[in-house]
Structures are given as structure tokens and as C-alpha cells.
């Protein structure tokens, strides 16, 4: 029987890297049409993409970082077939074992084509703690997020000059989201009544925080990295209990 590597969470949470999700996946409704299992595994899968566009985490590893069972992870990968830029490649090892590599065509590294998400979302265990509905919503929030220096500096109690803009933006802790709830649900492929629970999960696991309403719209801070992480030991204990 082929040995499955034992995935271990580490303390290397904030490695400064970002994964690149194609905006077309959100904007042309591919995301909304995916099954929940596929939404759960897609974002973590992007974390494993190397410079050649290949990713080869085991199903167990993908399950652990996605917060799902191995069966669900397998179903999730199967549901990604046909997604633009995704290919599943069957391999047979020299010992006669079947394995799969995944090829992800990354979008151009600019905001027009790419939704940037920190590896910290995955490395800190935060994504794995989210409900499936929250996992469906988070990339949509990232897609519609924006940054305004006046509002940001007011929230932070900061003074600034035009010369400071680039540095403040580079070191910012969060963006803003005030998209209509109906739009969030439409692009996430969820029902309106499930959105409140998704926001609750995203808040509980340190992705978003509510701020004062803006022009009668709900306004959220969306962390560039999670506001807090889970400890390595607690994550590994949870993994051992759930996956053996």
C-alpha cells in the first residue's frame, strides 16, 4: 500500500507570498456554479502552485488545509474539471502507483486579471475553520474589495500626505467591502438567508470586521492577512483527531 505523507502545520504562517485567483472565475460566474466541495479545495490548491503552474498536494493534505474530509476533497477536485485554467494530470509512478498532478494557468499579475490572497489565509488554519458557505463568500469579497486612503487613515487615526500613499497602501492591514448583499450571494452561488451565517463564520475566524455603515450600506474591513491565526499545536492536534 502506498504511504500517505503526514501533513504537519508549521509556524511559517506569514511567508509574504500570495496566491493568484483569476478574476474571470468570479466575474463570469464559474465560481457561483461550482459545488461547495470544489469551492472548499480550490483556494488552498492555488497555494501549492509552483513557478511552472504545477501543484501536487495529496488528497489528504488538500483535505486538511481545506477543512474537509478526504472524500469531499476528492469530489471537490473532480468538480473542478472544466474550470478555465485547470487541468488534472494522471501519473503512474515507477512503483506502479496512481497519482495526480494539477496544472493551474495563473492569470497575469495585475489587479485587472488577478484576485490576490495571502498564503496566510491557508497557513494560519483560518480557511480550514470556515463553513463551506463562508468559503464560497470570501473570494467574492476579495473580488469586490477596495481601498481608500482617506477612510483607511481615519479608521487608523493616522495623518498622511500624498507622498505617503504608496507606503501606506503597501503596509495596509485591510481593504474595505460594501458590495450589495444580493451581489455577494449572486457571485458566491448562495442564498440570501445563508449570508448572515457566512459573515458570522468569517468574523469568528478573523477575516472580516464590521465598521460603521457607509451611506446606509454595511461596511466591512477585510484583512489582507487574517487578524489572528491558530497555533501550530492546536491545528496539529485537530488534524490528528480528525484524520488520524
More confident residue, 66 or 227: 66
Mean pLDDT of 180-208: 97
More confident residue, 4 or 77: 77
Q: 171: burial class by Cβ within 10 Å (0-12, 13-18, 19+)? A: exposed
Tell me the per-residue pLDDT of 35-46, one tens digit each, with 9 for 90 and over. Answer: 999 999 999 999
Report the sign of the C-alpha dihedral through residues 43, 44, 50, 52, in that order: negative
Statement: residue 3 has pLDDT above 70: no
Statement: residue 93 has pLDDT above 90: no
Backbone conformation region of residue 208, classed left if phi is above 0, alpha if psi is from -120 to 50, else beta: beta
CA–CA separation, 72 and 11 (whole Å): 27
Mean pLDDT of 81-93: 90
What pTM value is reported for the model?
A: 0.92
Mean pLDDT of 77-101: 89
Amino acid at each position: 500500500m502506498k504511504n500517505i505523507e503526514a501533513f504537519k502545520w508549521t509556524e511559517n504562517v506569514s511567508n509574504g507570498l500570495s496566491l493568484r485567483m483569476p478574476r474571470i472565475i468570479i466575474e463570469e460566474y464559474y465560481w457561483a456554479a461550482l459545488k461547495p466541495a470544489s469551492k472548499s479545495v480550490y483556494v488552498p490548491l492555488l497555494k501549492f502552485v509552483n513557478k511552472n503552474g504545477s501543484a501536487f498536494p495529496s488528497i489528504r493534505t488538500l483535505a486538511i488545509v481545506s477543512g474537509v474530509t478526504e472524500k469531499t476533497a476528492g469530489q471537490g477536485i473532480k468538480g473542478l474539471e472544466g474550470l478555465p485554467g485547470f487541468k488534472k494530470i494522471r501519473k503512474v509512478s515507477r512503483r506502479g502507483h496512481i497519482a495526480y498532478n494539477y496544472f493551474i494557468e495563473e492569470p497575469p499579475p495585475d489587479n485587472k486579471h488577478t484576485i490576490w490572497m495571502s498564503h496566510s489565509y491557508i497557513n494560519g488554519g483560518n480557511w480550514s475553520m470556515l463553513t463551506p458557505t463562508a468559503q464560497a463568500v470570501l473570494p467574492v469579497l476579495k473580488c469586490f474589495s477596495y481601498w481608500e486612503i482617506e477612510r483607511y487613515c481615519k479608521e487608523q487615526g493616522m495623518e498622511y500626505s500624498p507622498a505617503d500613499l504608496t507606503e501606506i497602501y503597501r503596509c495596509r492591514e485591510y481593504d474595505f467591502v460594501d458590495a450589495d448583499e444580493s451581489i455577494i450571494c449572486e457571485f458566491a452561488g448562495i442564498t440570501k438567508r445563508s449570508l448572515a451565517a457566512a459573515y458570522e463564520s468569517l468574523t469568528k475566524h478573523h477575516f472580516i470586521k464590521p465598521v460603521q455603515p457607509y451611506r446606509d450600506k454595511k461596511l466591512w474591513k477585510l484583512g489582507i492577512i487574517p487578524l489572528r491565526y491558530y497555533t501550530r499545536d492546536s491545528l496539529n492536534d485537530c488534524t490528528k483527531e480528525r484524520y488520524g
